[in-house]
Amino acid sequence: MTELGHAKTDEEAAVEALIAQVPQWAASAPSYAPLCPDVVSPMHRGVAGALWLVKAGGDAAGVLKVPRPDMDGLFDRAAGVTGAQLAGKTGAGPSIIWADADGGAVAMEHLGEGWRTANLADLQEPGMMQAVLDTSRAFQAGEALPVRFDVFAEIHALQARLAATNIALPTDGWWMLKQAGAIEKAIVAAGYDLVPCRNDGVSSNIMIGPEGAVRLLDYDRAGMNDPAYDLAVLLTEVCAFISEREPYVEHWAGRADIRLLNRTVAYGAADDLMWALWAMLSAETSPRVHVEFRKYAEWRLLRCRQAMLQPQFEERLRKL
């Protein structure tokens, strides 16, 4: 742990400046250290924001999340702050101690002993998956967020940035973008409500605690969206086969719902394409060469193709 006032790098100096702005921490002579490395594969942690464990008097005081400079313009920092604050209020995420809406930094409670990061093996357990879905529902029941999240707008924006940076799409990239356009048209035609959504399905952003308690982390893409999106991205992460999604769709909706099932497939493909484009851009523009952005992009593209190449895919778009 590094004691406050003993920063050795510019990054640590910036962290100390933020710690000094947190009233609960500044007066307690805290120390700090990185909580986890930035890695995108096989886990996805600390990529959009650096995580720092802050201690006071030997006890964990909290966690400080600081946005990464190379992610500027790729995430809405203010939206991430308001999403994290709503999660703290609803119990879906850790309590928020302090936040800087303009800069995007957030100080939150440290969940501590008895809590651990979820993995895909954990989420093969139906009871655990149901707990995660119920926690997502709790977040969605919160007050409206000030921004809209639209995966299709994100895809268009990322496509434009790739073109402006002369980064080539894969040979079938045009086709996947065309399919994404078809998904967008089908979703708009079918209609949807808007509720607060986290818009993230990464398993490593789920924390499992004592007696099966669940907290959700990472609200960098939080915004008002179709509630089915939160369901879709989680099922796309966890379920290898469409049939595996059916009991969770029924748990979510209270009944079997083929249209909702189809929507999870459609949204899942769009989400994979969005993250693939983000990773392709980051692979060429981020100075963090140790983060395997290219590998992550290829994985997301592979899963996107698999969904879009299903013989039933176009039929699903007709039944949303």
- Please identify, among 74, 108, 142, the residue that sits at the C-terminal boundary of a domain: 108
Same domain, 156 and 206: yes
93 closest CA partner among 102, 84, 101:
84
Mean pLDDT confidence for 187-201: 98
Same domain, 92 and 189: no
Same domain, 33 and 97: yes
pLDDT for 78 beyond 80: yes
Confidence of residue 58 (pLDDT cuts 50, 70, 90): low
Same domain, 68 and 122: no
Same domain, 234 and 255: yes
How distant, in Å, are the alpha carbons of 81, 133, 134, 230 from that of 137? 19, 6, 5, 9
CATH assignment of the domain containing 147: 3.90.1200.10
| Structure-block tokens of residue 21 | 């702005």
Number of folded domains in the chain? 2
**pLDDT 10s digits, 230-254:** 999 999 999 999 999 999 999 999 9
Least confident stretch, 5-19, 86-100, 226-240: 5-19
Confidence of residue 59 (pLDDT cuts 50, 70, 90): low
Least confident stretch, 57-71, 114-128, 156-170, 179-193: 57-71
pLDDT for 36 beyond 90: no
Domain that holds residue 141: 116-317
Same domain, 95 and 234: no
Q: How many CB atoms lie within 10 A of CB 236?
A: 21
pLDDT for 29 beyond 80: no
Same domain, 266 and 154: yes
Q: What is d(CA 254, CA 246) in angstroms, rounded to the nearest whole number?
A: 11
**pLDDT 10s digits, 101-121:** 889 999 999 998 899 999 999
Same domain, 77 and 188: no
Tell me the average pLDDT of the chain.
95
- Please identify, among 39, 73, 108, the residue that sits at the C-terminal boundary of a domain: 108
CATH assignment of the domain containing 41: 3.30.200.20
Same domain, 144 and 84: no
- Please identify, among 108, 128, 145, the residue that sits at the C-terminal boundary of a domain: 108
Same domain, 231 and 283: yes
Same domain, 8 and 135: no
Same domain, 239 and 295: yes
**pLDDT 10s digits, 116-175:** 999 999 999 999 999 999 999 999 999 999 999 999 999 999 999 999 999 999 999 999
